[in-house]
Structure 1
Amino acid sequence: MVNNIPIFGRFLALFVFCFFLAACDQTSSQTSLLKIGQVEKNNSGWPRSIMTREGLLTLDKQPSRIVSTSVTLSGTLLAINAPLVASGATMANTSVAAEQGFMRQWANVADERGVIPLYQTEPNAEAIIKANPDLIIISATGGDSALKLYDQLKDIAPILVIGYDDKSWIQLADILGNILGLEEQAKTITQRFEKSLKETKSMITLPPQPTTAMVYYQDGTGANIWTTESAQGRILQELGFTIADIPESVKGNISMGMRNDIVIATGERFPDAVTGNSVLLFSASKDREKAFKENHYLRETSAVKNNQVFAVGDDTFRLDYYSATNLLKQLQTQFGHQTHVQ
């Protein structure tokens, strides 16, 4: 009997150890079930975890000094009142950007909150580090992505890598609100916009459908055409627009990386991509309508022949709460009676 006690003890220890491993494996399995963009919260609020394209990110407490390397994401961060202290910027003093390189639709808001520009266009690791962030936000794709600096910055502060090429700004606001502890702020701003969206839908008469929506190149050689998965395409569809199909023969240019929100159409393939009975020109003012209609290569497209080409504003390339609200105003002006959108 005495000789059996150590054996029993060893079996008991082995059982407890195996049970512990199983429990750990279950916890790991539950966490790994998170899809990209999904947030898991502790019952007390913190910590919070989010699955990113670079793996699981866990924040132990609410960030207080956020640095955004993406000028696209910065607008949404400002809209939900995130503690944004610095942001990457784009080329300054253009039709879309103000003096500091911030997007015109929210440049004044950034100035009022003391947000500093880190750099213009080309990501700078030293500038990001100097801002002393407790969270760095990087876009997974797009011209404003600083993903190439990930390895340099990952030991400086937690990094949230998030894509905007397959989400509306409302979806981004929801995800960012959940991981940053700003759920109520995100809910308030999205509900306000959705109310304006419904009002706009009720007051406009759509141009002939379907619609090709695009950013038309200044030199007239092509365009970035918005897909149904783009933030722009999603808003248009909610308003009742039908996004025109883009022929497979046009697709294939991945010079901007693999993206879900745009199809790049240039050269001889460009006219084949303009299949809509109407065309909406994003990131464009009224003068771009004339330039588009006078493009020799586009004269046989349905939209040009029937004079159904419309510019919808300089600030509609990168959508956030501010620019999306301005887009609604533009559409009201083009296709309905003008009214105030809050």
Structure 2
Amino acid sequence: MKSTLFRLLAGVFATFALSIGASQAAEGWPREIATSHGVIHLSAPPQRIVSTSVTVTGTLLAINAPVIASGATSPNSRIADDQGFFRQWSSVAKQRGVKRLYIGEANAEAIAGEAPDLIIIAATGGDSALRLYDQLSAVAPVMVVNYDDKSWQQLAEQLGQATGKEADAAQTIASFAAHQQTVKQSMHLPAQPVSALVYRPDGKAANLWTAASPQGQMLQQLGFTLAVPPTQLASSQSQGVRKDIVQLAGENMASGLNGNTLLLFAGDKSDVQRLQSNVFLAHLPAVKNQQVYALGDDTFRLDYYSASNLLTQLASQFSG
């Protein structure tokens, strides 16, 4: 008798708990999410997210969003694994079973085949699938995000709201902030101001990170001062609508790299050697004084994982 009563009570409590859980899960939903391409309606937290942007995928993984598939870049490179996923988070993607949909150009059929309930598209950059917006909007809500004008933390907050992962985003951001503060207090900064750049493999051009870039924002948070390039270069539009870089080529490259220290993103020691041996850059103060530093291959795009690796690199290079 007692056993039967206990089972009945247990069933009641279990039903009550499930009811509360469902109520909590539904709290704050449906949601209206404002994007640069209008407002999207999400009736419940998405469970099958497809990211068309390999850059954005890292931030989705960092906030534990249920990303099931992603576009990829060229595999087996300095920055990507055998699937074309960025090395800084490729192990996390494998653990969570994230599927590679395609390499390079977005494929609408492959995306639709995953039956997503939310599709993420980057507004700019080489991994943007914006041309497929109308086509993909017929499949699922499409969220267009910019990563060229905000930090990965800001992107994480934006994605957190859309995916119901606000708490995860806040926790990830707080954990990183504590790490960043520790590194900042331990660093002895090199000669200021600095030029932060990606040096092209052919040595004929460079992309200079601006103060609007995630890289520029992070350096400034750590106490670095960004060198301001000549006005005619700074005012030039790079890659059409991008705000995060200034493209330097030819004679403009030397004049644009006017910092007392050069920080090479997406580079290693071999890139430092290549730049220092470039006869057209030999006269630069940073080169003369050997104030050229590589900050790792995975820093071309910053997410939680690569930004954490960047902190480790900076602490190693400039430890007090």
**1:215 corresponds to 2:198:** yes
CA drift of 1:60 comes to 1.3
What SS does the aligned partner of 1:296 have?
coil
2:213 alignment partner, one of 230, 233, 239: 230
Paired position in structure 2 for 1:92: 75
Q: Which residue of 1 aligns with 2:252?
A: 269
Partner Cα separation in structure 1 for residue 173 and residue 71 of structure 2 = 24
**Off by >4 Å, runs of 4+ in structure 1:** 251-255
Gaps of 5+ in 2: 1-25
Equivalent position of 1:105 in the other structure: 88
1:103 to partner: Cα distance: 0.1
Query: What does residue 132 of structure 1 align with?
Result: 115
TM-score calculated relative to the size of structure 2:
0.90
* Separation in 1, partners of 2:79, 2:239: 20
Q: Measure the CA separation in 1 of the matches of 2:54 and 2:269.
A: 25
TM-superposed CA distance for 1:257, in Å, is 2.5
- What is the CA distance between 1:248 and its match in structure 2? 2.3
Q: Which residue pairs with 2:128 in the alignment?
A: 145
- Counterpart residue type for residue 257 of structure 1: G
Distance 2:166 2:270 in 1: 41
AA aligned opposite 1:285: D
Unpaired segments ≥5 residues, structure 1? 1-42, 338-342
The offset of 1:246, in angstroms, is: 1.6
**Aligned: 1:259 with 2:257:** no
Aligned residues: 295
Which residue does the alignment assign to 1:160? Answer: 143
- Give aligned-pair identity as a percent: 53
The aligned residue for residue 121 of structure 1 is: 104
1:330 is aligned to 2:313 = yes
Is residue 154 of structure 2 the alignment partner of residue 171 of structure 1? yes
Residue 194 (1) aligns with residue 177 (2): yes
Conserved? CA contact 1:281–1:310, under 8 Å: yes
Structure 1 residue 328 displacement after superposition = 0.3
Q: Which residue of 1 aligns with 2:9?
A: none
RMSD: 1.2
- Does the residue aligned with 2:280 lie in a helix, a strand or coil? helix
How far 1:152 moved relative to its partner? 1.3
Q: Does residue 321 of structure 1 match 2:277?
A: no
Matched, 1:61 2:59: no
Question: What is the rounded CA distance, in whole Å, between the counterparts of 1:80 and 1:287 in structure 2?
Answer: 34
User: CA separation in 2, counterparts of 1:302 and 1:178?
Assistant: 46
- The amino acid of 1:166's aligned partner reads D
Note if contact 1:80-1:177 (Cα within 8 Å) is conserved in structure 2. Answer: yes
**Does the aligned pair in 2 maintain the 1:250–1:270 contact within 8 Å?**
no
- Equivalence map 1:31-50=2 (5 Å): 44-50=27-33
